[in-house]
Chains A and B, each alone.
Chain A
Amino acid sequence: SYVLTQPPSVSVAPGKTANIICGGNYIGSKIVHWYQQKPGQAPVLVVYDDTDRPSGIPERFAGSKTGSTATLTISRVEAGDEADYYCQVWDTSSDHWVFGGGTKLTVL
């Protein structure tokens, strides 16, 4: 089955840039979505279709993708961005959704 790999944790100082990576075979040919989950809350969609942001999501959140990795970049990181972040793709070979294991973003 298809696997998405994320680093368990990323740490960044306030005001700096955080890059959260999601790796998977041929991820460049798949559509990637990203979710933010703060402690005790339901996840929230922050990037969809690789690069688009839902209304209400700050421009500081940006998605990008190469052939083997997708990246969620958070610019000018704030304390309120501290959360778990999950990538997600639709695996066409098995016809089901796959989530990455999640990355815990810590703001130092």
Chain B
Amino acid sequence: EVQLVQSGAEVKKPGESLKISCKGSGYTFTNHWIGWVRQMPGKGLEWMGVIYPGDSDTRYSPSFQGQVTISAGKSITTAYLQWRSLKASDTAMYYCVRGGIAALTGAFDFWGQGTLVTVSS
């Protein structure tokens, strides 16, 4: 059974750093793109970026380029989303998603349960 299990909710202050995780299981981790989607409170879905764990090829949405870092540890089948300096506007639910097998354009067929990040002074 394919599963994406994300790390727990976080409460941080502005300016702090954060790294959240997403552990994949039940499939060959290195064969599928894995990505991140943001959902701000009461708002829609926003694609942030994806990584191909097989070769670490990473693509970012222009809206998030330079704001976050996406990485993956293929030996531990885990993807990460990292911020160096959080802002209040980063408060949102973050979902990891499994993308296509090799193909970048494949649908997001499995989603993690979400990690709620709250940034408040």
Contact = CB atoms under 8 A, between A and B. Distances in A.
Same complex = yes
Interface of A: 1, 31, 33, 35, 37, 42-45, 48-49, 54, 84, 86, 88, 90, 94-102
Interface stretch (B12-20, B67-75, B77-85, B110-118): B110-118
B112 to A, nearest CB: 7
A10 to B, nearest CB: 15
A98 B47 contact: yes
A9 to B, nearest CB: 13
A42 B112 contact: yes
Contacts, number: 54
A31 B16 CA distance: 39
B107 A33 contact: yes
Interface residues of B, number: 22
Describe A's contact surface by its main secondary structure. Answer: strand
Interface of B: 35, 37, 44-47, 50, 59-62, 95, 104-109, 111-114
B105 A102 contact: no
Contacts of B106: 48
Contacts of A99: 44-47
A29 to B, nearest CB: 13
Given A1-B62, A33-B107, A43 B45 contact: yes
Given A42-B112, A45-B107, 10 more contacts: A1-B62, A43-B37, A45-B109, A48-B107, A88-B107, A96-B59, A96-B62, A97-B50, A100-B44, A102-B45
Contact of A86 (B45, B62, B113): B45
